[in-house]
Structure 1
Amino acid sequence: MMNDRKLGKTMASDGGVESLPNDASNPSAITRSSQCRWRAILTRARSNPRNSSRISASLDLERSAHPLRRQSTHLTKHHVTKMRSAAEFAHDIKHPLNLSIDINWTRTWVGNDPDGQILGRLMELTRKWLKPRYCKIFAQIAVRENPNGCANTHILVHCPPSILRDFKRQVLNVLDEACHGLNDRAVKFKRIGNGNSTLRATLGKLDYICKGTDPEVAKALGIRPTPQGQIYGKLYSISQEIQQKARRRYAEASRQLGTP
């Protein structure tokens, strides 16, 4: 899906990158579109050692674009516990997280989703597409990573098997438009448990995407930690309908009805 003509305008034939814009010394004057453009260039340029100084300048641009945003490097025990509880709840209400979606932002034209806005749009449009036509509950968990500056996102979501093909097409269409193009390895779909989405299989996949947990906490939780770089904004997100407030409402309604 990658539009090579778009990248061709910004890349030199020898794999180099263009010089920085004239207003690079003034980050506030750099538009969002130019930031995205430079992230895409950065991704293609990393393999060429001659570009080290220009890569450094591009990284400075990205950092300056988020001077007030919270920066995080590790998931906490509280984060992981919340995600595990949400996954267990989704399974209990017959909406198991049965599909994983892995997004490699470096294989999209924008090159990154540093503020999580594209992910937020994807979640919103996914919710509207699935609910209420195919699902009563929108169940989804997402974790953002940035190991070695290579941004990616892992998503666990409930998708009825009968509409899996159409759902994949929907996700790809949204990302292709939002990212201005992506190649055939930018997004990977995989059914949890090879189609048998047991709670054990779901929690096993969740533990994997939580590998960016603080090492000491990870050991206590039985997770094998791996550094996942620095993230601006939220490290993870849980759809509202499987968050703690929703679980409390469900439990209260069950008590009133006298159901377990």
Structure 2
Amino acid sequence: MRSTRFLAGADFDNLIAALDFAERTGRPLNRSVDLWWRGFDNPRLLTDDQRLRLVQQRISKWCLARGFELCWIWIRERGAASLNTHVLTHVPPENTAAFDAELIRALEHEGAIIAANAVMVKRAPGPRGKLKYLGKGMSPDDCAVRGIRHDPQGLVYGKRTGMTQNLNRAARARPRS
């Protein structure tokens, strides 16, 4: 499995492009989700990225049943104690409370929450600012070019970033009706 010490500048730029695309297409990334994976039981011994993928599948189905597509971007980083995942997602305002509750259920399906700070879900009034803050894990040179203060985020195995397909490069290149 691939490992990286830094978030790639190109990956960060791709997340910024996805955030801008979500905004332009009426799906602003208005919810912030922070996951501290050590705060969850992990009976199936899945990796954090495997658990996130399963949660994403469950939440995506829930969103579709309510008439909207899941749109989210995420960054993984290694904190002092364990891996963390930070997600910015779009939720129509009328679905916010139900989404938050469903997200907790989807996460608990992959392991009980065993720490009060395992999940933090809140409104994201400034998603660009949050994303810039999360860009701190880029190399010192990549941070300097983008005006971001560098703060090493440790060695991460597997993907550091990702997004739903409706925000990726191919989706952004397709003409929208």
| TM-score normalised per structure 1 | 0.64
Distance 1:87 1:120 in 2: 20
Distance 1:168 1:86 in 2: 22
Aligned length: 176
Select which of 26, 29, 35 maps to 1:103. Answer: 35
**Is this contact kept in 1: 2:7–2:135, CA < 8 A?**
yes
Partner of residue 136, structure 2 = 211
Partner of residue 128, structure 1 = 61
Using CA pairs below 8 Å that are at least 6 residues apart, which structure has the higher relative contact order?
2
Matches within 5 A, 1:1-260: 69-110=1-42, 114=47, 116-131=49-64, 133-135=66-68, 137-193=69-125, 201-250=126-175, 253=176
- For the aligned residue pairs, the C-alpha RMSD in angstroms reads 1.8
Q: 1:214 to 1:180 in 2, by over 3 A?
A: same
How many Å apart are 1:148 and its aligned residue?
A: 3.0
Supply the AA of the counterpart residue of 1:232.
Y
How many Å apart are 1:114 and its aligned residue?
A: 3.7
Give the secondary-structure state (helix, strand or coil) at the position aligned to 2:74: strand
Instruction: Give deviations 1:43-80, integer Å, cap 9, x for gaps.
Output: xxxxxxxxxxxxxxxxxxxxxxxxxx111121111111
Distance 2:161 2:110 in 1: 20
**Is this contact kept in 1: 2:132–2:148, CA < 8 A?**
yes
**Is this contact kept in 1: 2:76–2:84, CA < 8 A?**
yes
Instruction: Give deviations 1:132-191, integer Å, cap 9, x for gaps.
Output: 5231x4210011111234211100000111111111111111111202343332100121
**Is this contact kept in 2: 1:115–1:233, CA < 8 A?**
no
Give the secondary-structure state (helix, strand or coil) at the position aligned to 1:131: helix
**Is this contact kept in 2: 1:113–1:151, CA < 8 A?**
no
Larger radius of gyration: 1
In structure 1, list runs of 5 or more residues that go unmatched: 1-68, 194-200, 255-260
| Runs (4+) off by over 6 Å | none
Give the secondary-structure state (helix, strand or coil) at the position aligned to 1:103: strand
In structure 2, list runs of 5 or more residues that go unmatched: none
How many Å apart are 1:113 and its aligned residue?
A: 6.1
How many Å apart are 1:213 and its aligned residue?
A: 0.9
Q: 1:113 to 1:141 in 2, by over 3 A?
A: farther
**Is this contact kept in 2: 1:146–1:229, CA < 8 A?**
yes
Distance 1:164 1:182 in 2: 24
Q: 1:202 to 1:115 in 2, by over 3 A?
A: closer
**Is this contact kept in 1: 2:48–2:83, CA < 8 A?**
no
Distance 2:93 2:127 in 1: 15
Q: 1:97 to 1:113 in 2, by over 3 A?
A: farther
| TM-score normalised per structure 2 | 0.92
Partner of residue 258, structure 1 = none
How many Å apart are 1:115 and its aligned residue?
A: 5.3
When you count helix as a share of all residues, which structure comes out higher? Answer: 1
